[in-house]
Chain A
């Protein structure tokens, strides 16, 4: 059977994590193509609903990446979203999707290496967890193979 290729969504704040992702690019640090970035001005902009909808629409893993603690361009958006992430993790556990599919990370704009490492680790972790149950159940029903 073909290896499962998860789809991972990364909400990245403009000032740190998104810049770190660009930095990984500049340094040509390879990481799995499974990670897709959604840019937000501040990680604090990421709503619990965005996280839920990402899973509902079929993402296998989601993470939010903000500035290092204390470094948020907007003072504390990163710590505010961290609480939301913890809340949604519990919610995901409750409905059987699994809170482990959602994570919060912190990085500075210069941490291209860290961005690439997290992207790799997160992809591996989600690969181990297998497809989002939402997706697999639906696909099974339709008789489609898992992409």
Chain B
């Protein structure tokens, strides 16, 4: 299947530097695609910046539950070797063949032995860290329960009595002799996602950050909001401990070159961050709290982010005040923060008192990351971020070394996820996937059929050292277990999760022919998989085990009442026994995987993803509805960075057409679609003869692009001197003489965007305007250019070009949404009339040409058809709706379906290419396996009982059930998420959720309450 084997060094690992959300994504994608990964992080557990956020925009969810399986998968994945407290020292060699040296600081803890019991922390809090969680300053909800690895770390320098510390650990996990370890490693590729630091506002004395506790950074404010933060989720002023009534956010602290030491770029995420914090404040605390955001331009340019801003203003009444405050001065007498600022309309200086101020501090690259990069020899840009190219957005200057996430440029989480998958896709090309990517089942005994046996339960009680054993008498608990009906074995097994105990349990299951197992131990959240694997090894179906959580939810919380704890442990064991008796063997659903790929759309995105996958030997069908490749990018001559686009498209198209693994089908329309994940069939109708053809495929990539918006505004299409920015792009290239002859040009931003018809921001138009203005000046330096805008959204490094345009004399004039410019045709060119907000006067301007920044809109007609045929969701504006806006930005809700490029939302070429590579990365993770795994927790309908009432159809949060041709509800196991809402709502009791069937739940209640009512 794989080509180019000779150029790939097989079995080489891939090094991923940085265990934040991006690093985890990249490592997971690589591991799933059969590559071995070493994931290193310099802190003591992985998770990075995102784990410090209380909630994330635009959903305002904590997203813990979405990230947590990810993190624990990260810890579990057998192909990922996790090295914490580790930094990369040197890198030598070349693509496919690097040698890296890693230095791992001593943790002084044996990770294999540490059970995270916390005894050492209790006795020696001064030298033991469990980074997150127990440290009350640590911000979030999510750090502790999900911390990977789940173990402590020790600061030996602070330890007074090493021997006593060693003795306190019952597991013998403390290793005072551990030393700094240097490791040399051969790797095929390196992915850098070390993240970034947050700008330190200490030096800005006019904001009194250092002096006044009520001035905090946005990340600190996040911790105040957080339930497990220092105030346990109470919103109080750090100074007084009283509830604040007025809070101000100050944007662009450390960004856009505003303050001393600030970077010149825009940090991209802070506007949304501030809006989110203001909204959550209103929502969670009191609506009466006044929230004001002081901003320069509100940059809500992401997918549907503009609607988020609308909501903040209109529903949550967050005040948005366009102003750059002069200072924050604390008033010792009143305790207020006096913020002095000026606004456009009157130009007068005002002072307003607030209770708290939040500084929206931006991202910057800290010295240690810069040094690491320079040590490796990769080129950095002027701002010390990794230098990348428009056409290869995640490739550094050294082939084989990739950069993603914040280290590449300031960005938010979805874009980080995209780049991580893109980097994984490219890095995977340097190494060979392992031959067998399926689960290793050789250690398992063949599964014993227990369907005709009466339940024979074995109970195994962990003492977990003193964690359980120190509170309750585990032996008496085991004796109690023996008294329960149908229990054959009940014994204490020490540390149940240790290898020794696991062997004992396994052997007992086999020898005693047990067919149901109860573990009395810690949380099934962390250990269920481990014991399920054990059952498989012992020849039992893995769903025949039940874990009674007698540690986390019993001995740990009832240590003060051992008698009650013992009684409760008995209840929990009895509940587990009655329930496990009702369990029955289940099969994890899996479907065979067809490895061919259907890419819909032959633009830059479609071509790039097709090429990425075809280069790895996969067969790709590229379906294009027109007669040529290139899409909307054919109309673009230059990028803002100055690269010429046509040669790139030409070269790419040529590669596509000539590629032996790619079949391009022109003039084709998709007309039907059937099948299930892993094996789809899609029907095409191909012009001009309109003949029908069906394609079998396992992956579908939607890269159908977007359309240039051409609203009927400002004489567009009526006047020869009025054109869109995209028109101007070509005009500049083809008729420079006409530019030379111009005296004045005007541009109007947000035409057909951010308006009732199209409430979204088109993202690309501000950069297009700046790009075209600069190109005009290159041709005709004496030209006067006016840009009428609402908010300039030149995010990230694009800010540099905005700055340059201003320096070179382009005049930017703001207009209000309610008072847009007016345009009339003149004898020559057009006449514009608009209100200048600073002068407060209406001005009029004659321009030789008018460029309208109209942006992109969804190709509503084709996305509507495709959404119907493929049964996919769309946004209100007609873009495809991803499965999870934050963490799975390009995955669609049906496994095997992806969206990339402008079919997802407006974006530029660089972003589209990153998307294209990312979906290829996501796809290759699925393609590495011969089956798609769907788990067992799915809802099943008993057709005999179903009344076809539609209640499940309406109640399902994911629109999965439907009434089938036979007239009863059908739930596609491939699509069911396993929540059980349908089962709970069904009025005919015709639906059961596997693993959590009603009789199992009722049996638990029986087990708990059977002695209550005889």
Contacts and interface: CB of A to CB of B under 8 A. Distances in A.
Q: CB–CB under 8 A between A and B in the complex? A: yes
Interface of A: 7, 9, 14-16, 18-19, 21-34, 36-42, 44-50, 53-54, 57-59, 67-68, 70-77, 80-81, 84, 107-114, 116, 134-135, 138, 142, 147
Contacts of A37: 549, 553
B1001 A110 contact: no
Contacts of A138: 1013-1014
A33 B525 contact: no
A22 B145 CA distance: 7
Interface stretch (B59-67, B264-272, B646-654, B771-779): B59-67
B981 A77 contact: yes
A146 B557 CA distance: 26
B232 to A, nearest CB: 5
Given A23-B145, A28-B556, A30-B558, A57 B1009 contact: yes
Nearest to B565: A33
Contact of A21 (B134, B232, B553, B1006): B553
Contacts of A34: 564
Contacts of B554: 33
Nearest to B284: A68
The 10 closest A-B pairs by CB, nearest first: A110-B141, A58-B1012, A45-B980, A25-B552, A15-B65, A74-B979, A33-B564, A75-B957, A25-B556, A42-B979
B107 interface: no
B1013 A80 contact: no
Interface string B554-577: 101111110011011001100100
Nearest to A67: B65
A57 B1013 contact: yes
B1004 interface: yes
Interface in B627-673: none
B996 to A, nearest CB: 6
B844 interface: no
B1012 A73 contact: no
A68 B116 CA distance: 28
Contacts of A74: 957-958, 977, 979, 981
Contacts of B62: 68, 71, 108-110
Nearest to B523: A22
Contacts of B978: 41
Contacts of B335: none
Contacts of A19: 64-65, 68, 145, 525
Q: Give the interface size class of chain B.
A: 35 or more
A135 B1013 contact: yes
Contacts of B103: none
B227 interface: yes
B866 to A, nearest CB: 23
B140 interface: yes
Nearest to A117: B232
A49 B1009 CA distance: 16
A130 B941 CA distance: 41
A76 B957 contact: yes
Contacts of B63: 71
Given A21-B552, A41-B979, A80-B985, A109 B64 contact: yes
A58 B995 CA distance: 25
Contacts of B995: 41
A80 B955 contact: yes
B880 to A, nearest CB: 18
A108 B227 contact: yes
B228 to A, nearest CB: 5
Contacts of B552: 21-22, 25-26
B553 A22 contact: yes
Given A9-B1008, A50-B1002, A142 B59 contact: no
Contact of A36 (B59, B551, B1008): B1008
25 contacts: A15-B64, A23-B133, A23-B144, A26-B552, A27-B133, A28-B557, A30-B558, A31-B558, A33-B564, A36-B572, A37-B553, A38-B1005, A41-B979, A44-B981, A45-B984, A47-B998, A57-B1010, A57-B1012, A71-B65, A73-B979, A74-B957, A75-B957, A108-B227, A110-B145, A113-B228
B142 interface: yes
A16 to B, nearest CB: 6
B669 to A, nearest CB: 33
Contacts of A50: 998, 1001-1002, 1005
Given A40-B980, A110-B227, A49 B1012 contact: no
Max chain A C-beta neighbours (<10 A), residue from B61, B63, B65: B65
B244 interface: no
